[in-house]
Amino acid sequence: MHWPIRSLSRRLPALLLCISTPWLSSSLHANDDSALRQALASARAGDWSAIDHSAIAGHPLEGYVEYHLLKRQLPNISADDIVSFTSRYHDSPLAGWIRGEAISAYGDARRYDDILMVADGEPNGAENRCHYFTAQLKNSPNAAAMGGRELWHSGQSQPPACDTLFSILQSRGAIGPNESWERLTLAWRDDNPGLVGYLGKQLDSKWSSGLATLHSAETPPHLPAQLPACVGSNCSGNGALYSAIMHRATRANTTAALAAWQRWAPNAAISGERKRAIEHDLAYYILARDIESQYAWVDSVLPALNSETLLELRIRTALRERDWHGVLTWANRLPADAANDARWQYWKGRALEQLGNSSEAQQAYANAATQREFFAFAAADRLEQPYALNLSDTTVSKDLQRQVAALPPVIRAEALLRINEPGLANSEWYGAAAQLDPELARGMADYALQRGWPARLVQTTIAAKQWDALPWRFPEAYRDDFMNWGHTTGVDPYLLMAIARRESAYNPEALSPAGARGLMQLMPGTATQLSRQLGIADPGPYGILDPALNIRFGSTYLHDMLNRYDNNRLAATASYNAGPGRVDRWLATSNGEFDLFVESIPFRETRDYVQAVLAYRVIFESLANNGSTQGVSLLTPAERQADYGPSLMRR
């Protein structure tokens, strides 16, 4: 069943009669929750005498208090106690957390047998991985050597916990001069002179020519006239030297780097794998930087490199040049999975159409139109056929609802929300959604819908990979606000929904690394400007988190972008993500149709963003239309026919 969130309050009385759920009895848990909340605060503070264990016995969150007790006692606690805890809470993030803490503490205490008792395979994080492989040195030396060499192979310094492991592996010969040289070149690439100096002291005179070459090439774009014929024992260091020199040079001056490589490559005594990596790097930067004079060289190496990334870049350069033969040539070299993607089927159709092969073009468009994305919808428009939403049934039985309500992770998540621990609740919830079988994960999505948790609902579908459950992936959260401010500002409300869905996945408290906030991810400075424009008080960095105000400001900003670009939603959407200054520059050098403009956007983030938002907009409107795409259009006729060039900008 699919119940719009806006109408949930009207349906709750009937819902309560048929589903037994933990949240219904939250008032009954008030006293227990209060005791647990106090106990958890005391445990975090290490105030053990203030914890009344009898008051929290049997509470679903009792394990959170126990976790802090165990953590505080490490490493002076037996591994058996840790194993017992992880067994009891195997379905909770608590198990992984205490396991990580135990490995760290036991490692620092050199209790390596205990590490192996509590570990559940290779742990996360460099520090704990080093402890784990050190513990394996005794009984699994080959596995320890393999893991240790992987950690060693880094241009950055590793944690002190790795020192023992590295020292033993060096004494056993598992890490020798070749590995030290390899790491030294990685450190040189990463501009880590301290590590370069440290490793250089471990190498003898066989490596001096390589060290001198690195020193001479310290400041790009300077490149040595030639590289040493032999570095290290049996010339084993040549490959790492070539890789390091070319890595820096390619990024500093790609043209000079290619010229140097063409001189060196014929006589370079390095492996084929090293050569391919160097040439892949060169080809990538030539295409990304649009160095047309070097395309002939790229075309000569592309077939042997067999790289999907490079082929996609090459197709885009062919599209910029309207080289339709080139588009077909490189699209036909894509691996099968990539070639069947709607994007490349669409462009194959466009190329065939331009070259006069209409029947094969129609077939390519038909292949693309079976999918659900921007170019699939564009292909359907060319065929004048409905969009394929491919949505799955989101009906959930009452029996499944009862099963989900009784799941320990769900019970714990509800209890954590009652004591105002949403972060911990999310950890419980998303961990369960990712690990449960698909049917129970479907039930969790339905549960989130019934509880009115749009952000948690969306993230549940992502964790459980429920890509076709569109009513769950695109819920009607905050619909009234989107409709109100969309109509007030004259902005397509479904476009607003799509932007919010892409920006924050409906998390009203979302905060980006750059500082953007709320549903529509507004920067505080932008909010200040908009408040002046609207003649209202500046809401400040926290006031802007209010969903209704955030939507109002977002719709006002989008209205301004639409005015700037002649009411063109595609250009306005690009501007919402990348800023109008960049979009102005892209349009100033563009002169093409909508699809060519989208594919030519130089920022991958913005290119993907525009496609996602316009496709999401189709989905939102279709769901509001009971799943029908009749009358729903990816773009307006004016947007499809516009000249995406300087004329689109209003001055």
Does residue 517 sit in helix, strand or coil? strand
In terms of C-beta density within 10 A (0-12 exposed, 13-18 middle, 19 or more buried), how is residue 296 classed?
exposed
For the chain, the C-alpha Rg in angstroms (whole number) is 30
86 alpha-carbon distance from chain centroid: 29
User: In sequence order, what DSSP letters do the residues of 254-284 get, joined into one string?
Assistant: HHHHHHHHHHHGGG--S-HHHHHHHHHHHHH
Catalytic site residue from 101, 421, 503, 621: 503
Residue 245 to residues 1, 213, 458, 479, 606: CA-CA distances in angstroms?
60, 9, 46, 56, 32
- Stated as kind and residue range, the H or E segment containing 68 is helix 62-73
Dist. CA 72–CA 322, nearest whole Å: 66
The sign one gets for the Cα dihedral 549, 552, 556, 558 is positive
CA dihedral sign of residues 482, 483, 486, 489:
negative
Angstrom distance (rounded) from CA 477 to CA 455: 9
Q: Are 475 and 484 in contact (CB under 8 A)?
A: no
Comparing CA positions, the residue from 642, 633, 491, 484 lying closest to residue 548 is 484
How much helix, strand and coil, in percent to the nearest 5, is found in the chain?
A: 70, 0, 30
280, 241, 231: which is closest to 258 by C-alpha?
Answer: 280
Q: How far apart are CA 575 and CA 585, in angstroms?
A: 11
**What six digits make up the tokens of 587?**
């349009």
Residue 644's DSSP bridge partners are 592
Taking the C-alpha atoms of residue 576 and residue 578, their distance in angstroms, rounded to an integer, is 6
Angle at which helix 308-320 crosses helix 272-288, to 10 degrees, equals 30
Does the annotation mark 503 as catalytic?
Answer: yes
CA separation for the pair 95, 595 (Å, rounded): 49
- The helix/strand/coil state of 538 is coil
Q: 405 Cβ partners below 8 Å, 6+ apart?
A: 19, 20, 21, 22, 411, 447
The size of the chain, in residues, is: 651
- φ and ψ at residue 511, rounded to 5 degrees: -135, 120
Distance CA 452, CA 23 (A): 12
**Contact by Cβ (8 Å): 489, 520:** no
C-alpha of 41 from chain center: 33
> ∠ at Cα 201 (199, 203), nearest 5°?
80
Concatenating the DSSP letter of every residue in 184-202 gives HHHHHHTT-HHHHHHHHTT
For the record, the structure tokens of 24 come out as 């219904």
Exposure string for 442-464, b = 16+ CB within 10 A, e = fewer? bbbbbbbbbbbbbbbbbbbbebb
Known catalytic residues are 503
